[in-house]
Amino acid sequence: MGNLLLTRKPGEGITINVPASEKGTVIHVIAEPNPHNAKQTRFAINAPKSVSVLRDELIERDRKAAEQGAA
């Protein structure tokens, strides 16, 4: 199991991808206020290393790069 701590602002998201072979996988997410910045929330994520956790803006960046590469 791996641990990851992400900070998100309102409107920002994360995507958690669980491989089909990992049926029954439990992912534990804890949301807590950021004590250093009231406009942010921190998420503590505990999941197996086979699970990918991506910030949504990185997914969008990669999608745009793939579209530009295909053009």
For 17-27, write each residue's pLDDT tens digit: 888 887 888 88
pTM for the structure as a whole: 0.68
Q: Domain residue spans in the chain?
A: 2-70
64: pLDDT confidence band, cut at 50, 70 and 90?
very high
Mean pLDDT of 28-40: 86
Residue 47: count of CB within 10 angstroms of its CB: 20
pLDDT digits (tens, 9 = 90+) for 42-51: 889 988 888 8
Whether 18 contacts 51, CB under 8 Å: yes
CA–CA distance, 56 with 53 (Å, rounded to integer): 9
Q: Which CATH number fits domain 2-70: 1.10.357.10, 2.30.140.10, 2.60.40.4380, 3.10.50.40?
A: 2.60.40.4380
- The mean per-residue pLDDT over the stretch 37-59 comes to 89
